A and B are shown apart, each in its own frame.
Chain A
Amino acid sequence: MNLSTPARALPWLLLSAAAGAQPQGAPANVAVLAGTCMTCHGPPHGAIPRLQGQSAERLLARLRAFKAEPPSARATVMPLLVQGYTDADLQALAQWFGTP
């Protein structure tokens, strides 16, 4: 599973550029929070949805909804994982990944 072809690398370069817009050299709390998401939500293809490119509002609504919904085939682990983050965390993450 070698994904290092230029076509697959491009979205990551764009992501890096977006991350570069943040203040450099001082990892904020949200950067560390967001790091936990990127272990699964990375490449643009595959069964796990990508977070970049969605609106911050929509991301926040979805994240909050996970807190109250039972696991389903559409989201098997997020209803569990999201319990580990405060509402302030979820707001920060939605802002970090989402478009205005």
Chain B
Amino acid sequence: MIDRRRALHTTLGATLALPALVRAHAAAARVVVVGGGFGGATAARYLRHYAPGVHVTLVEPARRFFTCPFSNHYLAGLHGWDSLGHGFDGLRAAGVEVVHAHAADVGERSLRLDTGALLPWDRLILSPGVDMRWNAIEGYDEAAAQQAPHAWKAGPQTQLLRRQLLAMRDGGVFVMAIPDNPFRCPPGPYERAALVAHYLQTHKPRSKVLLLDAKENFSKKALFLQGWKALYGSMVEWVPLSADGQVVRVDAAALEVETLFGGRHKADVLNVIPPQQAGRIALRAGVADGSGWAPVRGEDFASTRVPGIHVLGDASQAGPIPKSGFAANNQGKAVAAAIAAELLGRPRPQAVYANTCYSLVGPDWGISVAGVYRPQAGRLVDVPGTVGISALDGGAEFRAAEARYGAAWYAAICTDIWDR
């Protein structure tokens, strides 16, 4: 592994030192992107836009990519399953070669697929999302997830949790275990709590939502606490770490969990969102560190560990920018611009990253958090005065507007990435 990395370093170091040579070969340059989600599909599309001569291959096993954003709406019955799926015809039309396969391993300037094919690359972009850290919570492994779904990757797990919710008795308890930071979509568990409560209030009003949390604070906390209370009264109960909220053991067959100080909770539906790490291929490529995430440079999301590889989206760790689809989309554009400039021997444009996360608390009750981030000496920092949650005292008109803006955002970002 070390030798391979050194070899990569030498080869790419020589390439990077010769922009004129790179420019001469820009038309033949090959960029391989792993992951057709918010980060990878954006990078692939915008790279073709910024540098039309570059050969871009996108590796994504799914023929339709289902988004985690708005999957809570599906759980609550507010959206159909198909509305979450997005195909790759638009990317193909933009000149991206799309290969439906799994990325198996990263070699010296090549990517091996599970089909055995080898894809050579001059630059590799990894946007693999997250993997669950099985057994980080005792008893919670892949098999247990078939009874107590995480539903933290949109797909069969999400559909399983929906079926369980539909089958739950009135008066039952929906228990959710929530991990410590960092993890994919920081406000996601709390939006899920709200929208599950919306479903239960409408269909099974004697039921409860019990949130067992491994931390004291969470994204948009004040807005969620306010919204849960206003819309669902005491139906949603949040138990922080200090009140013995951290789940340490799961008995999926019995639908029971145990917390750090010995508390036991029996669920009718058990949703365990376990600790996570960068997707497997990031670990194979050697870009992840001991934390399980991939450290990157704020300027261009280049790996600080392996030259020639950029890591985007939830798998990367670049400072305070959240693991959100919006952030991954902005990272994809910045990386595409940086790689295009490098391959064409032009100055690299300044990177800027924005983020806005809307969450739905009820059908007409939206909330948000926003921020702008810029690189500074290799890291990302938030621009003072830009990061904050939306107004707590906004009132009904404000909340209804943010619900509409959230829906418009979903349509816009999906159009930007896949649906055009």
Residues of A within 8 A of B (CB): 1-4, 8-9, 12, 16, 19, 24-29, 31-33, 35-36, 38-43, 45-48, 70-74, 76-77, 80-81, 83-85
Contact = CB atoms under 8 A, between A and B. Distances in A.
Contacts of B53: 25
A32 B350 contact: yes
B391 A84 contact: no
Contacts of B326: 39
A36 B354 contact: yes
A9 B414 CA distance: 12
A39 B420 CA distance: 14
Give the 5 A-B residue pairs with the shortest CB-CB distance, closest first.
Answer: A84-B372, A46-B408, A35-B333, A42-B412, A47-B404
Interface of B: 46, 49-53, 79, 82-87, 89-90, 326, 329-330, 333-334, 336-337, 340-341, 344, 346, 349-354, 356, 368, 370-374, 383-388, 390-391, 394, 397-398, 400-402, 404-405, 407-416, 418-420
A67 B8 CA distance: 46
B90 A4 contact: yes
B383 A46 contact: no
B370 A80 contact: yes
**Interface centre among A43, A71, A72, A73, by most B CB within 10 Å?**
A73
Contacts of B340: 25-27
A26 B397 CA distance: 43
B372 A83 contact: yes
Nearest to B54: A25
Q: Please classify the interface of chain A as helix (H, G, I), strand (E, B), loop, or mixed, using the class held by over half of its residues.
A: loop
B405 A76 contact: yes
Nearest to A70: B391
Nearest to A37: B354
A75 to B, nearest CB: 9
A97 B79 CA distance: 33
Contacts of B385: 80, 83-84
Nearest to A16: B49
B334 A47 contact: no
Contact of A29 (B349, B397, B409): B349
A72 B398 contact: yes
B386 A32 contact: no
Given A26-B344, A36-B330, A84-B352, A4 B420 contact: yes
A54 B414 CA distance: 23
Contacts of A35: 46, 330, 333-334, 337
**Interface centre among B329, B404, B413, B420, by most A CB within 10 Å?**
B420
Contacts of B416: 38-39, 42
B412 A41 contact: yes
A36 B327 CA distance: 9
Given A25-B51, A32-B333, A46-B408, A9 B420 contact: yes
Given A1-B410, A41-B412, A32 B349 contact: yes
A76 B359 CA distance: 13
Contacts of B411: 1, 3, 42-43, 45-46
A72 to B, nearest CB: 7
Nearest to B410: A1
A46 B352 contact: no
29 contacts: A1-B83, A3-B414, A4-B89, A4-B420, A8-B415, A25-B50, A25-B53, A25-B340, A27-B50, A27-B336, A29-B350, A32-B334, A32-B350, A32-B352, A35-B46, A39-B326, A39-B329, A39-B354, A39-B356, A40-B405, A40-B408, A43-B408, A46-B412, A47-B408, A70-B391, A73-B398, A74-B401, A76-B405, A84-B371
Contacts of A3: 411, 414-415, 419-420
Contacts of A4: 87, 89-90, 418-420
A20 to B, nearest CB: 9
Contacts of A1: 79, 83-84, 410-411, 414, 419
A28 to B, nearest CB: 6
B125 to A, nearest CB: 16
Contacts of A41: 412
B409 A39 contact: yes
Contacts of B333: 32, 35-36
Contacts of B368: 76-77
**Interface centre among A41, A43, A46, A80, by most B CB within 10 Å?**
A80
